[in-house]
Structure 1
Amino acid sequence: MDPVHRRAARVVCVDADGRILLLHWRDPVDGHDVWEPPGGGVEPGEDFRAAARRELAEETGLDPAAVTGPSVTVLRDFRWKGQHFRGPEEFFLARYHVARPPLARDGLMPDEQLSLAGHAWLSPAELSGLAGLDPPDLAEVISRLGTPPASA
């Protein structure tokens, strides 16, 4: 089966200590783990920035107004729920001026509630070697967004 492309936007959230927020998802079909920045599909008539802000609020409860700057296009190639996805996604930056802002899951759909295994605020050094990190070159994406990874 050919890979599916869906328009999507993600947000690299950076806290006051330079840690990056990753959501930990467990695929309900095959059980594999994925660690990725918040985000998801763009709805019809929605632009990438609006989608990034909406998805951030739905998945984390964090202030969507923190999503700023231009986006960086990232080619994604991954599997989720038995389907192969491939194509570009737009990544945005959001900075928060407190350490580890608390998250809320109120905006998640019921199937997302079941698939979300947790989250973590990780130092850039902790990203390397993290099993299931997607995109695998997230440190490069962070750098391209103008946020050079700080040392741990």
Structure 2
Amino acid sequence: MLGRGRAGGILAAMTSSPGSASPFSRIKIRVGALVFCGDEVALIRRDRPEASHFVPPGGNVEPGEDLLAALRRELAEELDLAPSQAGEPELLWVIDQMVSRPGTTPPPRKLHLIYRLQIPPEVRDTLAAQEYDEVPGGHEIGLIQWVDHRTTANLPVFPPIGPALAALPSPFAALPDASLPAVTDDNYVWV
């Protein structure tokens, strides 16, 4: 028998169900893409009864999946964008998220890796106009909107990159630091 000491705590942590985990004890990685066509960027608008918000195309990295493979998979699923149709993805920002949210499952800590890439207008014309996100009991439709990146400062974008995106002097301006401020309960309320 392990008892109540350190080994007992480790055993309890290893055998506890996901619902009994403490907040932010799990880490997920989400890849997202700022797909630029000129000065405009593709964002997915999700309309919900309580509010609308925007997200860059992307999603969670599956266990054992390569980061760029996950990004390519998500872009194919959400925009119908093939890797050969776009420039090489470049890591732009990293955002650490520890935000409480409604529900019975403790929220994970999430690292958002935001890449940027450029496509020509002829590719943009072939991309999806809607994105279908699986949710319990069905799917949620997101609308793909092309927005001038300089106008995103006050848009409800998650992760909250709107001000940083609007401040880019050009879609491919070099940046001195890839780290954006952490998203926590002190500076964000879950929508």
Larger radius of gyration: 2
* Cα gap change, 1:21 to 1:80, in 2 (>3 Å): farther
Residue number in structure 2 paired with 1:21? 42
Aligned with 2:55 (options 31, 36, 42) = 36
Aligned with 1:87 (options 110, 122, 130) = 110
* Superposition deviation, residue 38 in structure 1: 0.3
Q: How far apart, in 2, do the equivalents of 1:135 and 1:102 lie?
A: 27
More relative contact order, 1 or 2 (CA 8 Å, 6+ apart): 1
* Superposition deviation, residue 50 in structure 1: 0.8
* Cα gap change, 1:9 to 1:128, in 2 (>3 Å): same
- Show CA shifts across 1:63-119 (max 9, x none): 234262442322235577746454322111121111743433798455398323312
Q: How far apart, in 1, do the equivalents of 2:130 and 2:83 lie?
A: 15
TM-score by length of structure 2 reads 0.60
TM-score by length of structure 1 reads 0.72
Q: Structure 1 unaligned runs (5+)?
A: none
Indicate yes or no: 2:71 matched with 1:52: yes
Residue number in structure 2 paired with 1:128? 153
* Superposition deviation, residue 37 in structure 1: 0.6
Task: Provide the aligned C-alpha RMSD in A.
Answer: 3.3
Q: How far apart, in 2, do the equivalents of 1:13 and 1:35 lie?
A: 14
Report % sequence identity: 22
Residue number in structure 1 paired with 2:179? none
Q: Structure 2 unaligned runs (5+)?
A: 1-21, 174-191
Indicate yes or no: 2:31 matched with 1:9: yes
Three-state SS of the structure 2 residue aligned to 1:135 is coil
* Cα gap change, 1:109 to 1:124, in 2 (>3 Å): closer
CA contact (8 A) 2:132 2:141 kept: no
